[in-house]
Amino acid sequence: MESSFEALCAEIRALLLARRQRLAEEIGRHPRPITACDVHFNRLLEERALVSAELDRFDGFVAASALLAPEIKEKLRSAAENVVCP
């Protein structure tokens, strides 16, 4: 059974991955922008970069955590393999 800390880590990571996936889908559906003129498209790209950076920081936190067992760390890391993000 997962501890509340492990469950919280899994939930945070899942939320970040889901947001990144939604951004990727929205970017994929967006009409081709006019270079440097499409504010909405540029904002989507910036937000995707921020979410990806946040995921990297979170993964670093998980890797360094003394409270999470190695198998839980691996389970959290492998969750990203099920998400496709261009």
What residues does each domain of the chain span? 4-80
- Whether the model clears a pTM of 0.85, i.e. scores above it, the answer is no
80 pLDDT band (50/70/90 cuts)?
Answer: low
Q: Are 23 and 51 in contact (CB under 8 A)?
A: yes
- Tokens 């003129």 -> residue: 37
- Tokens 């540029």 -> residue: 42
Residue 45: CB partners within 8 Å, gap ≥ 6?
Answer: 27
Range of weakest confidence among 6-15, 49-58, 73-82: 73-82
Q: What is the pLDDT of residue 17?
A: 92
What digits encode the pLDDT tens for the residues 27-76? 888 887 666 677 888 899 999 999 999 999 999 999 998 888 888 888 88
Q: What is the pLDDT of residue 36?
A: 65
CA distance 12 to 6: 10
Structural tokens at position 51: 């979410």
